[in-house]
Amino acid sequence: MRKLPYLFILVIISLHCFTIKSEVLSIPPIQLATKYQQDIDVTEYLVSEKLDGVRGYWDGSNMLTRSGRKVALPSSFTLGFPHTAIDGELWLGRNRFEDISALVRRKQVPDKEWQEVKFMMFDLPRHSGPFIERYLAMKMLAEQTASIHLQVIKQEPVASTEALFTLLDSIVNAGGEGLMLHYQQAHYAVGRSEYIVKLKPKYDAEAVVIGHTEGKGKYRGKLGALIVKTPAGVVFNIGSGLSDKQRENPPLVGSTITYQYLGLTQKGTPRFATFLRQRPPQ
Q: Which residues are catalytic?
A: 50
C-alpha to C-alpha distance for 32 and 108, rounded to whole angstroms: 29
- 39, burial (CB in 10 Å: exposed 0-12, middle 13-18, buried 19+): exposed
C-alpha to C-alpha distance for 65 and 199, rounded to whole angstroms: 23
Closest residue by Cα to residue 177 from 161, 201, 142: 201
Phi-psi region at 169: left, alpha or beta (left = phi > 0; alpha = psi -120 to 50) = alpha
C-alpha to C-alpha distance for 218 and 73, rounded to whole angstroms: 45
Classify 10 as helix, strand or coil: helix
CA 123 and chain centroid, separation = 15
The Cα-based distances of 21 to 8, 26, 67, 68, 69 in angstroms read 20, 11, 13, 11, 9
C-alpha to C-alpha distance for 236 and 68, rounded to whole angstroms: 30
Q: What is the 3-state secondary structure (H, E, C) of 74-114?
A: CCCCCCCCCCCCEEEEEECCCCCHHHHHHHHHCCCCCHHHH
